[in-house]
Chains A and B, each alone.
Chain A
Amino acid sequence: AQSVTQLDSQVPVFEEAPVELRCNYSSSVSVYLFWYVQYPNQGLQLLLKYLSGSTLVKGINGFEAEFNKSQTSFHLRKPSVHISDTAEYFCAAYAGGTSYGKLTFGQGTILTVHP
């Protein structure tokens, strides 16, 4: 069965510092990976996705992620965070095939940016 693990439940960081949110996945088939952001009392917004091709994926708001097949990881990074990046971030995977539209989500990482 497919699973997604976010290694940090909370990440505090100061404004303008770099940040990395870690995500590992397990899957026996080809996998497609996503990062979503959720602001308080809102739905999920897609930050970026990896379907195939270049392993370095750039998304919105200056975020990027690197797909590492050998380490089964898809870590999210931003070189310089802003106060407005404070939110909860979810890593998700879609295994294709008979998984239909099922996105499997991690438990989430709360990013708090301090001034």
Chain B
Amino acid sequence: ETGVTQSPTHLIKTRGQQVTLRCSSQSGHNTVSWYQQALGQGPQFIFQYYREEENGRGNFPPRFSGLQFPNYSSELNVNALELDDSALYLCASSLGVGASYNEQFFGPGTRLTVL
């Protein structure tokens, strides 16, 4: 069974640029959630995708957007990067939505640095 994978592992961008982060969900999982973890903080929920549709969004501006593909892999796109976007971005997959399915399996994360 393959776990959640994310690419790239590290990324350096400059302010104003755009970035795309990728996530492959665990086998059999149809739900992907994205989190932002700033240094010294707990993860903050960005949004969730369930069967290719956005299924909930946290308090992040529209320049954070996402996609989920038919194979349930996912992308997180961030436009007009700001210095405060520097963080570890975590992807998590789960079997579905709802409490019984809400054991989320996390990938290793992508470390984004904005200069």
CB distance from A89 to the nearest CB of B (A): 10
Which of the residues B40, B45, B94, B109 comes within 8 Å of A102, measured between beta carbons? B45
Interface string of B80-107 (1 = CB under 8 A from A): 0000000000101010011110111111
Interface string of B25-67 (1 = CB under 8 A from A): 0000001010100001111110010100001101000000000
Give chain B residues whose Cβ lies under 8 Å from the Cβ of A107: 40-42
Q: Is A104 an interface residue (CB 8 A)?
A: yes
Q: Is A62 an interface residue (CB 8 A)?
A: no
The segment out of A11-19, A41-49, A64-72, A73-81 that lies at the interface is A41-49
Smallest CB-CB separation from B102: which chain A residue? Answer: A94
**Which of A84-107 touch B at CB < 8 Å?**
90, 92, 94, 96, 99-107
Interface size grouping (class) on chain B: 20 to 34
Chain A residues with a Cβ closer than 8 Å to the other chain, count? 26
Smallest CB-CB separation from A98: which chain B residue? Answer: B56
Smallest CB-CB separation from B109: which chain A residue? Answer: A43
Interface centre among A49, A92, A105 (most CB of B within 10 A): A105
Give chain A residues whose Cβ lies under 8 Å from the Cβ of B108: 41-43
User: Could you tell me which A residues sit within 8 Å of B by CB distance?
Assistant: 4, 32, 34, 36, 41-46, 49, 51, 90, 92, 94, 96, 99-108
